[in-house]
Structure 1
Amino acid sequence: MRNKFGAIYHDLANKIIHHIYPVGTYLPSETQLAELYGTSRETIRKALAELLTNGFIQKIRGKGSVVLNLQRFNFPVSGITSYKELNNSLHMHSKTEVLCIEDQHVPLENFDYQSGQNLPATFVERLRTIDDNPIVLDRDYVLKSVVPNISHAVAADSLYNYFENKLGLIISYATKTITVEHPSKEVARLLALGDHQDVVVVRSQNYLEDTTLFEFTESIHRPDKFNFVDFARRQKIN
């Protein structure tokens, strides 16, 4: 079932991206899509729910699913998602340029993390682009006590794919802070920003299932290219 609705989701997303279903128009009804793809309405609903979650459509009661403008991509605040996974799920067709891989100590002052010792890490800096336009600058500090070495090929592909599928690490949770900051001259140059444009910076400390801290990340985003979204459930405090 997952493969079926996933394939339908990807097909519809591609059609939206390539303007077969233009912005502001409505997708075919659930019944029409079920007939088109030869499947049940339940499967179609799951595919549409995925499109809704990832910002491709908005459901309007009594009318159907309208196609949204994709100038911005939805970046999930909650959860731990690699950039490669985000790129694939949102069909951003983004490219990665590895700018730097070198041994450093984690700049703990950037992360508001208290430690009585320096933390040796592999520093990986990568620029993400779409159609040669820079959108994200990622800076990762991977602790050498957990991952001793990282190759250029791994950095160009996916760190998390390497951690999970090659090293067998089980990534479990993270703490995150999100701030709006004025960029340094170097960051402004790399992201092709104007003199008065700020950036959205997402900093996180990432942990394995056994609570081992293994990575600090700093993701610097152009705010005109991303929406930062979260799911919140009301909790009443007495």
Structure 2
Amino acid sequence: MRNKYGAIYHDLADKIIHHIYPVGSYLPSETQLSELYGTSRETIRKALSELLTNGFIQKIRGKGSVVLNLQRFNFPVSGITSYKELNKSLNMHSQTKVLCIEDRHVPVEKFDYQTTHELAATYVERLRTIENDPIVLDHDYILKTVVPHISEEVAADSLYAYFEGKLGLNISYATKTITVEHPTVEETKLLALSADQDVVVIRSRTYLEDTTLFQFTESVHRSDKFNFVDFAQRQKIN
């Protein structure tokens, strides 16, 4: 079932991205889509729900699903999602360029982390682009005590696919801080920013299931390319 509605989701997302369904237009009805894809309305609803979650459409009562402007991608703040997974779910068709892999110590002051000794890590710097347009600059520090070596091939594909699929690591949780900052000279150049354009920086510390800290990440996002979204539930404070 997941493969079925997932395939429909990706097909509809592609058609929205390539303006087969232009901004402001309505998708075919659930009944029409069911006939078009030869599946049940329940499967169509699941595909539409995923389009809604990822910012492709908005449902209008009595009218249907209207196509939204995709100048920005919705970036989930809660949860831990790899860039490769995000790229697939949002149909961004993004590419990754590895700029640097080398041994470094973690600049712990950047991540508000208190320690009495230097943390040896593999530093990975990657630039994410869409149609040669730079959108994200990632700085990753992976502790050598957990992952001794990372190849350029792994960095160009997905660190998490390697950590979980090849090394069998159980990634569990992360702490994150999100700030709006003025970019460095290097960031301005790599992200093709204007002189007065700020960036959104997400700094995180990621832990394994046994609470072992193994990764520090600094992701620098172009603020004109992403919306940062979260899911919140009401909690009363007595």
Tell me the TM-score normalised to structure 1 length: 0.99
Partner residue in 1 for 2:232: 232
Task: Report the counterpart of residue 218 of structure 1 in structure 2.
Answer: 218
Unpaired runs of 5+ residues, structure 1, are: none
Displacement of 1:210: 0.9
Q: Does 1:8 align with 2:19?
A: no
User: Residue 161 of structure 2 corresponds to which residue in structure 1?
Assistant: 161
Once the two structures are superposed, what CA deviation does each residue of 1:57-99 show, in whole Å capped at 9, x if it has no partner? Answer: 0111111100011110000000101111111111111111111
Structure 1 partner of 2:83: 83
The correspondence of residues 101-180 of structure 1 with structure 2, limited to 5 A, is 101-180=101-180
Q: How does 1:64-83 map to 2 (within 5 A)?
A: 64-83=64-83
Residue 207 (structure 1) aligns with: 207
Q: Following the alignment from structure 1 to structure 2, what is the Cα–Cα distance between the partners of residues 61 and 67?
A: 14
Aligned-residue Cα RMSD (Å) equals 0.7
The answer as to 2:198 corresponding to 1:198 is yes
Give the match's secondary structure for 1:79.
coil
Question: Partner letter of residue 125 of structure 2?
Answer: E
For residue 18 of structure 1, report the CA deviation from its aligned partner: 1.3
Question: Following the alignment from structure 1 to structure 2, what is the Cα–Cα distance between the partners of residues 156 and 39?
Answer: 37
Q: Shift of the alpha carbon at 1:131?
A: 1.1
Distance 2:54 2:76 in 1: 9
Show structure 1 runs of 4+ deviating over 2 A. Answer: none
1:7 match: secondary structure: helix
Give the drift of 1:36: 1.3
What does residue 30 of structure 1 align with? 30
The SS at the match of 2:186 is helix
Amino acid corresponding to residue 54 of structure 1 in structure 2: N
The alpha-carbon deviation at position 198 of structure 1 amounts to 0.6
Please give the alpha-carbon distance, in whole angstroms, between the structure 1 residues aligned to 2:95 and 2:10. 19
Q: Any idea what SS the aligned residue of 1:88 has?
A: helix
Q: Offset at 1:40?
A: 1.3
Q: Write the deviation string for residues 155-176 of structure 1: whole angstroms up to 9, x where unpaired.
A: 1111001001010111111000
